[in-house]
Structure 1
Amino acid sequence: MKNIVLIGMPGCGKSTFGKRMAKRLQLPFYDADTVLEEREQRTIKAFFAESEDAFRAAETRTLAYLAECDGAVIATGGGAVKRAENMELLKRGGVVVFIDRKPENIIGCIAGDARPLLAADKQKLYTLYNERIALYRRYADYTIDNNGDFGRVLHELLNIAAKLEG
């Protein structure tokens, strides 16, 4: 089975839905940010203290590693779409699902969150969304709206997985 790769904004639900999907489907789940920190032995915050480019290079190394999985659910970082190379790696053995959630619905979920790009200014979320929305849409094989019912979103994700098995 192909990998199921979840993309979208920070706070859109990639990890939350990814964990639930993987459990239901009895597949391994990988949060790319967690894998990055484990493999690189360095925090994302430390990479960003050096530069965003240092982080993006580590992210690409991590995604290349995860792209080698077979039949896993992978939640990427929100900015993974910024490098075409990342998406080419992930699409080779996976189906990409964009979880689309409006910034105004995300803001309440990331209050007090330690995400480096959003820590100083929650309004930056709107800027990032506007910068990335075209990329999310370009790379997505499927788009799921996550501005309402949690159960419906999970159901749609499981339907996508069922198509891959059939």
Structure 2
Amino acid sequence: MKNIALIGMPGSGKTTFGKGLARVLCCPFVDADDYLEKKEGQTIQSFFAESEKAFRDAEERTIRDLSRMEGIVIATGGGVIKRKANVDRLHEGGLIIFLDRLPEDIVTDVEVEKRPLLREGPDRVFALYKERIALYREAADITVANRGREEEVLENLVEALKEQG
């Protein structure tokens, strides 16, 4: 099985649905942010305290590692699409699914204090969505809307994968 990488905004459900998809497909799940922190021995917050570039460099190393693995479901960081090298590697390793969740749903539902790029408040979520939406759509092999109940969204993900073959 090829890898399945989930992309989308912070708070779009990549980790939640990545775990669910891995359970349904009986394969390993890897959260790219957790992998990065363990491998680099540094928290995402500490990378961002240094600079966003320091974090993006570490993220690129992480994606290189994960893309070399086989048969895993990967929940990527929200900004993974900011570097073409990441998108290219994820495509080489398998399929990219964009979990499209509306910014208004994210701001009403996500603890933004825990998300480095969302701490500035709701306006930042809308600005990031506007800035990144075209990149997400361009990178994705499949787009699945994260609207409605969790079970429905997971069913839609599985169905989209079946259609993809």
Same fold (TM over 0.5): yes
Offset of 1:141 from its aligned partner?
0.4
Q: What fraction of aligned residue pairs are identical, expressed as a percent? A: 51
Q: CA deviation at 1:149?
A: 2.8
Aligned-residue Cα RMSD (Å) equals 1.3
Partner of 2:120: 120
Q: What is the TM-score with the length of structure 1 in the denominator?
A: 0.94
Which range is displaced more, 109-118 or 47-56? 109-118
Which amino acid letter does the alignment assign opposite residue 76 of structure 1? T
Gaps in structure 1 of 5+ consecutive residues: none
1:3-152 counterparts in 2 under 5 A? Answer: 3-111=3-111, 113-152=113-152
SS in 1 for 2:58: helix
What aligned pairs does 1:149-160 form with structure 2 within 5 A after superposition?
149-160=149-160
Q: Quote the Cα distance in structure 2 between the aligned partners of 1:3 and 1:53.
A: 26
Greater shift, 35-44 or 119-128, is seen at: 119-128
CA displacement at 1:122 relative to structure 2: 2.8
Q: Tell whether the 8 Å contact from 1:4 to 1:161 is kept in structure 2 after alignment.
A: no
> Compared with structure 1, are the counterparts of its residues 161 and 69 closer, same or farther at alpha carbon in structure 2 (3 Å cutoff)?
farther
**Structure 1: 4+ residue segments shifted above 6 A:** none
SS at match of 1:95: strand
In the alignment, structure 2 segments of 5+ residues that lack a partner are: none
- In 2, Cα distance between the equivalents of 1:82 and 1:35? 19
Task: Give the CA deviation at 1:113.
Answer: 3.7
When the two structures are superposed, what TM-score results if normalisation uses the length of structure 2? 0.95
How many residues were matched structurally?
165
1:114-161 Cα deviation digits (max 9, x unpaired): 111111323200000000000000010000111223222101211234
Distance 1:75 1:112 in 2: 18
| Range 120-129 or range 5-14, more displaced | 120-129
